[in-house]
Amino acid sequence: MTALLEVAGLGKRFGGFVALESIDLEVRQGERLGLIGPNGSGKSTLVNCICGTLRNEIGKVRFAEESLDGLSAHERTRRGLARSFQLPRPFASLSLAENIRIPLLYTVNARATGHLSRAAIDARCLELLGEVGLAGKAERLPRDLTQIEMRKLELARAMAAEPKLLIADEAMAGLSHGEVDEIIALLIRLNAEGVTVIMIEHIMRAVMEFSQRLAVLVAGRKIADGPPQDVVRDPEVVRAYLGE
Amino acid sequence: MASLAVSGAAPGLRGAPFTLALIAVAVVIFVFGRWFDSSYAFFIGYVVVQYIVLGTAWNILGGYTGYVNFGITAFFAIGAYSTVALHKLVPTLPLPAMIVVSGVLAGLVGLGTGYLTLRLRGVFFSIATLALAVVVQTLITNWDFVGGARGAYVLRPKVAPLIGGEYVQYLFLLMLGMGVIVLATARAIERSSLGYGFAAIRDDEGAAEASGVPTLKLKLIATTLSGGFMGMAGAPLPFYVTYLDPASGFSLNYAVNAIAMPLIGGTGSWLGPVVGAVLVGGLQEFLRVTISSAVNVLVAGVLMVAFVIAAPQGIVGLFQRKR
């Protein structure tokens, strides 16, 4: 398997604070990677640098054998790099179907390959909402949704962009046991359809169940990367989480 | 599809039929005006339609895209002073051509302003546009060619070209034409990819980028369109007032009304600024004549505050189906 995402020597500072220091990370095509780390360890900053929301000062990001340096966030999304946000950020004045319509119009239709007609877009919106069980609420506004439905909308919107790589940033925080299972099942199904997934999560049960490989960030540095069972026994990881 | 937040009006005419309907309405209004034959009515009509154009132009950036522009007078006065300058340079140039030039100039200023300010968000963008109005006013006040602080006289021909009758009828007709163009554009934007992109930016710019929306490009389109239409609305002004000085060209009234009218009518759709302009513009004119010429500013202010508190979706929002 070839590397879909290659992060090499990535560094990010906020003033004098070093948020990320020479991060190297590879994600292979079709892989399910878990990314964990204590609060403030730089997980979201790393996601933001990969997705182009933040500019990294040092290091390179390559995606699908193409350098992403200097590309804005929407150009990266169009190249197949989608993300969901830690706190759901729906388009509040648009209905659920319209929320899905935005990435269809601006990502799928913006690619050379696809040009969906109006009717095809309408159908695809409903289909995507159906995949996360929200088809019945297609005409509702996001404010009518529960927390888990909001997370599902967030994932459906990311999926609408037809990504090669999906980064799910704490898609399960605050959800109940059963709801976590639902989201895991959803992400595994996506992965089975060929989408590479990076899951950022604090819920260890979910991470262990989902991940084929686990990377750990602590204080802006990657301290472990490998099979989940080995990583969680790594003394350095244990020290970072539990102290000495 | 059920009603969409971007287009407040119930699903109805769109595209070419909508434009034809607009033209029909404009023709009926104009024919009725000719039959009524009162120059006062034409003077009021001009002001109301001018505010429809100005309010709709503001709404493309302020309502659809969510960027509140306080610098309306800058664009409006660029339009008006372009006419003053063109009239001095090429006195024979017909007014419609001046309107086009004014629109292009104001649109370019909109584009430039966009480049300089759109990395600012929320209230910071608004403050920058306020500064733009001050800068442009200072430049015009110190530009002797267009009259500087003294102001400039533009002599209005006695008879209207093409249609005959008083010149103000011609001005009204041109303003109606601009109203049709601006409203057709606003309506076309609402349900297009552009409109959805604007709405995404308004709701959450970061999420819009993550969904593939080229936010900077779309915002530049919005500032250019909005600025250009404002400039067009200002272009016939020198012929309307015949004497234009910076104090009247940059009057706060234009800025207050252009923001108040969409807010009162409803910022979600093309219909909002129309309803707001007809209602507030008509009421102001009525009060100007019956009570005092100063009270009309108060009306816009009080109504705006009242609507922001009681009906933030505006009048159109009150009639929309609750979801």
> Which CATH code fits A3-242?
3.40.50.300
How many inter-chain contacts (A to B, CB under 8 Å) are there?
104
**Contacting residues of A for B199, CB less than 8 Å apart:** 91, 93-94, 98
Asked whether the beta carbons of residue B6 and residue A94 sit closer than 8 angstroms, the reply is yes
The complex's ipTM? 0.91
Q: Is the pLDDT of residue B3 over 50?
A: no
Q: Is the pLDDT of residue B66 over 90?
A: yes
Tell me the per-residue pLDDT of A63-84, one tens digit each, with 9 for 90 and over. Answer: 998 999 889 999 999 999 999 9
**Domain contains B1:** no
User: DSSP assignment of B68-103, as one string?
Assistant: ----HHHHHHHHHHHHHHHHHH-TTS-HHHHHHHHH
Domain of residue B159: give its range: 15-250
- State the pLDDT at residue B15: 81
Pick the residue with more confidence: B10 or B36?
B36
| Segment A197-213 mean pLDDT | 93
| Segment B310-317 mean pLDDT | 88
Residue pair A204/A198 in contact by the 8 Å Cβ criterion: no
Tell me the per-residue pLDDT of B124-168, one tens digit each, with 9 for 90 and over. Answer: 999 999 999 999 999 999 999 999 899 999 988 888 888 888 899
**Contacting residues of A for B211, CB less than 8 Å apart:** 74, 77, 102-103, 106-107, 157, 160-161
Of A75, A122, A139, the CB nearest to B323: A139
Q: Which of A2, A112, A10, A108 is nearest to A52 (CA)?
A: A10
Pick the residue with more confidence: B293 or B264?
B264
CA B178 to chain centroid, in Å, comes to 10
**CA-based torsion, B130, B131, B134, B140: positive or negative:** negative
Residue pair A10/A46 in contact by the 8 Å Cβ criterion: yes
B207 touches chain A (CB under 8 A): yes
Asked whether the beta carbons of residue A110 and residue B6 sit closer than 8 angstroms, the reply is no
**How close does chain B come to A99, measured CA to CA in Å?**
8
**Domain contains B109:** yes
Enter the DSSP assignment of A167.
E
Beta bridge partners of A7: A25, A61
Asked whether the beta carbons of residue A53 and residue B206 sit closer than 8 angstroms, the reply is yes
Edge-first strand order for the sheet with A165-169 is A81-84, A165-169, A196-200, A32-36, A213-218, A221-226
Tell me the per-residue pLDDT of A118-141, one tens digit each, with 9 for 90 and over. Answer: 899 999 999 999 989 999 999 999
Averaged pLDDT of chain B: 90
Tally of domains within chain B:
1
B320 touches chain A (CB under 8 A): no
* Rounded distance between C-alpha atoms, residue B237 and residue B214, angstroms: 36
**Domain contains B274:** no
**Domain contains B228:** yes
Confidence of residue B227 (pLDDT cuts 50, 70, 90): very high
Residue pair A137/A156 in contact by the 8 Å Cβ criterion: no
| Segment A97-112 mean pLDDT | 91
B322 touches chain A (CB under 8 A): no
Q: Is the pLDDT of residue A2 over 90?
A: no
Lowest mean pLDDT among A19-23, A83-87, A217-221, B291-295: B291-295
- State the pLDDT at residue B191: 86
**Domain contains B114:** yes
**Domain contains B314:** no
- State the pLDDT at residue B5: 39
- State the pLDDT at residue B131: 93
**Domain contains B322:** no
The pair of structure tokens assigned to B309 is 């508190």
| Segment B66-76 mean pLDDT | 94
| Segment B284-303 mean pLDDT | 83
Confidence of residue A1 (pLDDT cuts 50, 70, 90): low
CA atoms in the 13 A half-sphere facing the CB of B136 = 27
Within 10 angstroms of residue B158's Cβ, the number of other Cβ atoms is 7
Pick the residue with more confidence: B121 or B125?
B125
**How close does chain B come to A23, measured CA to CA in Å?**
23
A interface test, pick of B211, B217, B320 with most A CB neighbours within 10 Å: B211
φ, ψ for residue A11, nearest 5 deg:
-135, 145
Residue pair B101/B84 in contact by the 8 Å Cβ criterion: no
